[in-house]
Amino acid sequence: MFPARRFFRWLLRQEVISLNNIIYDSPRLVIETKDILLPNGKERKYLFVQPVEAVCILPTDEEYVYLIRQYRAVIDSYILEVVAGGMDKEGESKEDAARRELAEEARMQAEEIIPRGFVYSSPGFCTEKLWLFEARGLSPCEDLEMDEDEIIEQVKVRKEDVFSLIASGEISDAKTIALLTRVLNQ
């Protein structure tokens, strides 16, 4: 092997060196820039958005999935999506966060919360990890206080109609498509 090729392979195995510059820091979100020296010797500036981890929950029964239609100010529109929320309560487990969000947003409780893995929401610039859960054995629960910015309607969808709603664009939320696919392709 040529010495230059051996050196280049060694260089590619080296760890990336970075310098952090936090430009925004709050309990739910950190935004920072990193000047990274890549293994090929070039430098590049990256912007990282680091929100708290979140849970996504899909309530199901034999025939239906239960989604919510929620107003999202960022896109100035209502969107059909799964129940979801941040894991921002101190010491709360993923499953407990899933149960809390299910009660708050869907007004349901579940006998069984089944982990379905995780997805990254947008790994090109964001570190957010979304933990996916299916909820079974559903029953209504007491009305809880919703966040004042949440305008939510529950939507019951036949399992057999889900993929046509995705294909038509009526369901266009990435986390929702990921969780529906994981659950319905089991």
Q: Which of 156, 166, 172 is nearest to 64 (CA)?
A: 156
Domains of the chain: 3-51 (no CATH), 54-184 (3.90.79.10)
Residues 132 and 182: beta-carbon distance below 8 Å: yes
> Is pLDDT of 88 > 70?
yes
The answer to whether the Cα torsion of 157, 164, 179, 54 is positive or negative is negative
| Tokens 């739910």 -> residue | 28
- What does DSSP say about strands 43-51 and 17-25: parallel, antiparallel, or unpaired? unpaired
Enumerate the active-site residues. 148
Residue 166: its H or E element: helix 162-168
> Is pLDDT of 8 > 80?
no
The pLDDT of residue 68 is 98
Q: pLDDT tens-digit profile of 35-77? A: 877 778 888 888 889 999 999 999 999 999 999 999 999 999 9
Q: Using 50, 70 and 90 to split pLDDT, how confident is the model at 1?
A: very low
Q: CA–CA separation, 93 vs 82, rounded Å?
A: 19
Q: Which of 86, 117, 106 is nearest to 96 (CA)?
A: 86
- Mean pLDDT score, 4-24: 63
Residues 133 and 58: beta-carbon distance below 8 Å: yes
Q: Using 50, 70 and 90 to split pLDDT, how confident is the model at 84?
A: very high
The dihedral formed by the CA atoms of 73, 165, 175 and 126, expressed in degrees to the nearest 10 = -60
Quote the pTM value: 0.84
